[in-house]
Chain A
C-alpha cells in the first residue's frame, strides 16, 4: 500500500523478539503534509513500531525509507525526523530546556533569529517559559513532552514522530498541540503519532491505522 510520493514508506516491516513475531509485515506510507495516527491498545506494538521506523531498534525483515533514503542512513534519518517520546528522555533529563535547545540550535545549525523567535513564541504558547532553567528531570510528565516537542520543532524535521503525545497533557495543551500539528502539516511536513484517543485521531488525522497484536489490520481512511 505504498505510494511513490510518500515521505515515509514502511514495507513489510517485521520485528521478532525471543522467537515471537511482535510486528508482522507492517506496510504503510505517510505522504508529505499528512497527519497519520496509529491507534491501538497497550502492548499492541505501536511504540515498538515507531522505534523500528526510527532505527532505535533493528528490524528482522522489510524496508523503511524516509524521502526514499533507507532508515539505516542514521545521519540523514536524524536530520529528517524528530521523535517525541517519554521513553527517550535519557539525553535531556540532566539538562535544562534552555541548554538542550542551545545544543540543538548549534548542531542543526538553526539560524539564531529564527530559533530565538520560535522559542519565545512557543514557550509562551506551551506554557514552559517558567521552566526554561529547571532540569528536565524535575519537570512534570506533560511539561517534559512539551519541551521535547518544542526541541524537535526547532530544527523542522520533514517527519515528526510522536509517541502518545496527548497523554498527560492538560486540556488547554492538547488544543495547542493539535493546532501545532495542523500548522506543521500545512507547511508540507508529515506527522506520525500514536494514541489511544480515538476522538483526537479522528479530528486531526488524514489517515488512521489500527495496530493489533503486531499486525496493521483495519485501515480507516
Chain B
C-alpha cells in the first residue's frame, strides 16, 4: 500500500508549487500572522468578525488557486493521469492529497504563526482549535473545488456555462444592490454563521471527494466537441478572405483550426472573454458612464493577460509544429502571429460589440479600443520570447510590455486623435517587421 512518503515523492514531482522553500513558507506565515494581528488589534470589539473575515480571505485565496487550474498543465491533472494507471484507491489519493496540502512545511509555519497571534490575544485553547479546524475545512473545500473544476474542464460546454453564470450572477448582484447592503453581511458574520457554514461545506466536500476522484480516475481528457470542429472551420475561412498568398493563407487556416481545437488555447481565450465581460460589466455598473478611459484600461488589462498567459508561455509557437514543413522562418513566424492575432481580435471584438449593445457605448470608443488592441497585439508579438525563460526575465518582460502599452494608452487618452492612432500603429508595425527580419537573418 502506498504510504505518505511515497505519495509525497510523487506529489512533489507533479506539483511544482510544493517545492516552496523555507523562506517562502516563513514569508507566508509572517504575512498572514501580521494580517490577523493587525485585524485583531484594530477591531478589538469585533473579534468574531475579524476571525471570520480572515477565514473568508483564506477561502478566497485558496479558491482562486483551485479555480485557475490550468487543465492539462495542472499538477492535479498530471497526478490523476499518473494514478489512473495504478491500483491506488480514490479514498487513499484524497486522504494523502489532503495531508500533503494541509500539513506541509508552509502550512505548519502558518499554523504556528497564527497560534502565536491568538495566544498573544489571550484566546482560549478551544477557540484556537476551532480556528485551526476551520482552516482544515477550507483546505478540504478547495481541494474538492479543484476536483470539480478539473471535472468541469473535461466538458467544455459546462465550463463555458459556468463562466457565463458567474457573469450573470455578478450582473444580477449589482443590479439588485446586493453588495450595497453590507450591514446584513456583517451581521451574518458576527453571528458566527461562517464557522458553521464552513464546517457544513467541508463535510459536504468530504462526502463528494471520493466519488469525484473516482470520476476523474475513470475519465480521459475530452475529445474536441463537434460544434468546435464546425466553428473552427467557419472561422478558418476568414484566412481565405484576408490573405492572398496561397502558402500563407493555407498555413494561417490550418493554424486557426489547430488552435481552436486545442482545449488549452481555447480555454485561455474563453477566460479572456469572460474576464473582459466581468471587468467591463462591473466597471460600467459602478461608474454608470460610457468612459473612454475604462475601455482603454480594459484593453490594456486584456493584452497584459494575453501576453502573460499566451505569449510568455509560447502557447501558440509551441503548438504550431510548423518546423515539420518546408516553410521559411519568415512565413512560419508571420503565420503563427496572424492566426493568433485573428483569434485574439475575434474574441475581443465579440465582447466589445456585446458591451456596446448592453451599455450603449459609443461606436467610436469601440473602434478606438479595437485599434488599441491591434497595436497591443503587434507589440506583444514583436517582443522575442526566449525558449527558456527564468522567472526574473519573465517579470522583466511583463513589466516592459505593460509599460510600453501603458504609454500607448496615455497617448490615446491625452491626444485623442486618429493621427496618434495611426502613428502608434505604424511604430508597432515597424517594431514587428524588425523582429521578423532579425529572426530571418
Bound pair (A, B)? yes
Q: Report the Cα distance A74→B224, complex, angstroms.
A: 32
Q: Does B124 contact A (CB under 8 A)?
A: no
Q: Report the Cα distance A135→B261, complex, angstroms.
A: 10
Can you list, as one digit per residue, whether each of B212-231 has a CB less than 8 Å from chain A (1) or not (0)?
00000000000110000100
Stretch of B108-116, B320-328, B398-406 at the chain-chain interface:
B320-328
Which residues of the other chain, A, contact B251 by a CB distance below 8 angstroms?
103, 107
Please tell me if the beta carbons of A135 and B249 are within 8 angstroms of each other in the complex.
no
Please tell me if the beta carbons of A94 and B249 are within 8 angstroms of each other in the complex.
no
Which residues of the other chain, B, contact A95 by a CB distance below 8 angstroms?
254, 257-258, 261
Please tell me if the beta carbons of B250 and A88 are within 8 angstroms of each other in the complex.
no
Stretch of A75-83, A114-122, A164-172 at the chain-chain interface:
A75-83
Please tell me if the beta carbons of B246 and A106 are within 8 angstroms of each other in the complex.
yes
Which residues of the other chain, B, contact A102 by a CB distance below 8 angstroms?
250
Please tell me if the beta carbons of A106 and B324 are within 8 angstroms of each other in the complex.
no
Which residues of the other chain, A, contact B246 by a CB distance below 8 angstroms?
106, 109
Q: Does B384 contact A (CB under 8 A)?
A: no
Please tell me if the beta carbons of B323 and A74 are within 8 angstroms of each other in the complex.
yes
Which residues of the other chain, A, contact B324 by a CB distance below 8 angstroms?
78, 83, 88, 91
Which B245-297 residues sit within 8 Å CB-CB of chain A?
Answer: 246-247, 249-251, 253-254, 257-258, 261-262
Nearest B residue to A104, CB-CB:
B325
Q: Does A99 contact B (CB under 8 A)?
A: yes
Q: Report the Cα distance A137→B236, complex, angstroms.
A: 20
Nearest B residue to A107, CB-CB:
B247
Nearest B residue to A81, CB-CB:
B326
Please tell me if the beta carbons of B258 and A94 are within 8 angstroms of each other in the complex.
yes
Cβ of A104 to closest chain B Cβ, rounded Å: 8
Please tell me if the beta carbons of A75 and B327 are within 8 angstroms of each other in the complex.
yes
Q: Does A138 contact B (CB under 8 A)?
A: yes
Cβ of A128 to closest chain B Cβ, rounded Å: 18
Q: Report the Cα distance A55→B104, complex, angstroms.
A: 45
Please tell me if the beta carbons of A106 and B247 are within 8 angstroms of each other in the complex.
yes
Which residues of the other chain, A, contact B247 by a CB distance below 8 angstroms?
106-107, 109
Which A123-164 residues sit within 8 Å CB-CB of chain B?
Answer: 135, 137-138
Q: Report the Cα distance A78→B327, complex, angstroms.
A: 9
Please tell me if the beta carbons of B326 and A94 are within 8 angstroms of each other in the complex.
no
Cβ of A180 to closest chain B Cβ, rounded Å: 21
Q: Does A90 contact B (CB under 8 A)?
A: yes
Which of A79, A83, A107, A137 is close to B250, meaning CB atoms less than 8 Å apart? Answer: A107
Chain B: interface secondary structure? Answer: helix
Please tell me if the beta carbons of A106 and B249 are within 8 angstroms of each other in the complex.
yes
Known: A106-B250, A107-B250, A107-B251. A75 touches B261 (CB 8 A): no
Which residues of the other chain, B, contact A109 by a CB distance below 8 angstroms?
246-247
Nearest B residue to A105, CB-CB:
B250
Residue total for B at the interface (Cβ-Cβ under 8 A): 21
Which residues of the other chain, A, contact B249 by a CB distance below 8 angstroms?
106
Q: Report the Cα distance A11→B260, complex, angstroms.
A: 43
Which of B254, B257, B261, B326 is close to A78, meaning CB atoms less than 8 Å apart? Answer: B326
Please tell me if the beta carbons of B326 and A79 are within 8 angstroms of each other in the complex.
yes
Which residues of the other chain, A, contact B261 by a CB distance below 8 angstroms?
94-95, 135
Q: Report the Cα distance A69→B321, complex, angstroms.
A: 23
Which residues of the other chain, B, contact A137 by a CB distance below 8 angstroms?
223-224
Please tell me if the beta carbons of B257 and A94 are within 8 angstroms of each other in the complex.
yes
Please tell me if the beta carbons of A138 and B223 are within 8 angstroms of each other in the complex.
yes
Nearest B residue to A55, CB-CB:
B323
Q: Report the Cα distance A87→B257, complex, angstroms.
A: 21
Q: Report the Cα distance A172→B247, complex, angstroms.
A: 36
Q: Report the Cα distance A95→B321, complex, angstroms.
A: 13
Which residues of the other chain, B, contact A76 by a CB distance below 8 angstroms?
326
Please tell me if the beta carbons of A90 and B321 are within 8 angstroms of each other in the complex.
yes
Q: Report the Cα distance A94→B221, complex, angstroms.
A: 14
Can you list, as one digit per residue, whether each of B325-336 has a CB less than 8 Å from chain A (1) or not (0)?
111100000000
Can you list, as one digit per residue, whether each of B414-439 has a CB less than 8 Å from chain A (1) or not (0)?
00000000000000000000000000
Please tell me if the beta carbons of A94 and B325 are within 8 angstroms of each other in the complex.
no
Which residues of the other chain, A, contact B262 by a CB distance below 8 angstroms?
94
Q: Report the Cα distance A121→B379, complex, angstroms.
A: 48
Which residues of the other chain, B, contact A135 by a CB distance below 8 angstroms?
223-224, 229, 261
Most buried by B among A76, A102, A107, A135: A107
Which residues of the other chain, B, contact A94 by a CB distance below 8 angstroms?
224, 257-258, 261-262
Which residues of the other chain, A, contact B258 by a CB distance below 8 angstroms?
91, 94-95
Nearest A residue to B233, CB-CB:
A99
Which residues of the other chain, B, contact A77 by a CB distance below 8 angstroms?
326
Please tell me if the beta carbons of B223 and A107 are within 8 angstroms of each other in the complex.
no
Which residues of the other chain, B, contact A103 by a CB distance below 8 angstroms?
250-251, 253-254
Nearest B residue to A90, CB-CB:
B321
Which of B229, B321, B327 is close to A107, meaning CB atoms less than 8 Å apart? Answer: B327
Which residues of the other chain, A, contact B254 by a CB distance below 8 angstroms?
95, 99-100, 103
Nearest B residue to A96, CB-CB:
B229
Nearest A residue to B229, CB-CB:
A135
Q: Report the Cα distance A83→B257, complex, angstroms.
A: 22
Nearest B residue to A89, CB-CB:
B321
Which B35-90 residues sit within 8 Å CB-CB of chain A?
Answer: none
Which residues of the other chain, A, contact B250 by a CB distance below 8 angstroms?
102-103, 106-107
Going nearest first, the 10 A-B pairs with the smallest beta carbon separation are: A106-B250, A78-B326, A94-B261, A91-B321, A79-B326, A103-B254, A75-B326, A107-B247, A94-B258, A103-B250
7 contacts between A and B (CB under 8 A): A88-B324, A94-B261, A95-B261, A106-B246, A107-B326, A107-B327, A109-B246
| Residues of chain A whose beta carbon lies under 8 Å from any beta carbon of chain B | 74-79, 83, 88, 90-91, 94-96, 99-100, 102-103, 106-109, 135, 137-138
| Residues of chain B whose beta carbon lies under 8 Å from any beta carbon of chain A | 223-224, 229, 246-247, 249-251, 253-254, 257-258, 261-262, 321, 323-328
Given A95-B258, A103-B254, A108-B326, 15 extra CB contacts under 8 A: A75-B326, A78-B326, A90-B321, A91-B324, A94-B262, A95-B254, A99-B254, A99-B257, A100-B254, A106-B246, A106-B250, A107-B247, A107-B251, A135-B224, A137-B223
